[in-house]
Amino acid sequence: MKKIFIVGVLFALPIVAYLFFSSGKNNFARLPVLTPEVQNISNFESLTGNKVSLENKITILAFFGSDLQNTRGNTFNLDQEILDKYYEFEDFQFVILLPEESREEAAEFTQEFAAISQSERWKFVFASPEKIQEVFNSLDSPYRLNDDSYSPYVFIVDKKAALRGRKENEDDEVLYGYDSRSVAELSNKMNDDVKIILAEYRLELKKYKNQVEFEE
């Protein structure tokens, strides 16, 4: 009788666990879409000359203005709290949108950070202040760029160029972006949300592979 009970528990436990997680999957494994379409940047010039697009990539999008020296702390925080943990994910990219006059400073910045960071994963893209403002406006967030095309807030954009975030934050406000000046906000809220969206795409990829194998 004891053996039967043990075997029954061992058999039932995985099924119960599967039903629990599958039933709750849609509640905790998806990051809400806040803005369905962010303006793409594929026609802007990048530091390396390679095309940079928001399509088919999970993007951390930043607007760090014309003076990168003043945003070194923001960049270091992002590098340590987010990029260092997820840079090996193939479809994950960091994009910093800057005014055209920041090109030389961005090149120097990349070289300086190479010793302590995966700086090659930072993609610097350049446009006029007017074009940068258009992209920022397309996020449809409550934040604002200053006169230098700078905002401390960084954004999670999914593979369909949709802005992701939280519809219900702790203070009952929608969380469109994450304050890169705050280590606590990056290491807690943003880190958790990046984990969610990466897990979401891993799940979709797994489903796709299983479907292909089944059809074969």
Instruction: Give the C-alpha separation, 44 to 128, whole Å.
Output: 9
- What's the confidence (pLDDT) of residue 10? 52
In the chain, pLDDT over 70 holds for what percent of residues?
78
Residue predicted with more confidence, 89 or 116: 89
Residue predicted with more confidence, 171 or 36: 36
Lowest mean pLDDT among 10-19, 43-52, 171-180, 204-213: 10-19
Report, as an integer, the average pLDDT of 3-30.
46
Q: Would the pTM count as exceeding 0.85? A: no
CATH topology for 33-215? Answer: Glutaredoxin (3.40.30)
CB 98 within 8 A of CB 124: yes
Q: Above 80 in pLDDT, residue 124? A: yes
Instruction: Give the C-alpha separation, 181 to 124, whole Å.
Output: 19
Element (H, E) at 34: strand 33-35
Report, as an integer, the average pLDDT of 177-193.
96
Contacts of 98 (CB under 8 A, 6+ apart): 64, 65, 66, 68, 106, 124, 125, 126, 132, 149
Q: Give the pairing type, strands 150-157 and 163-164.
A: antiparallel
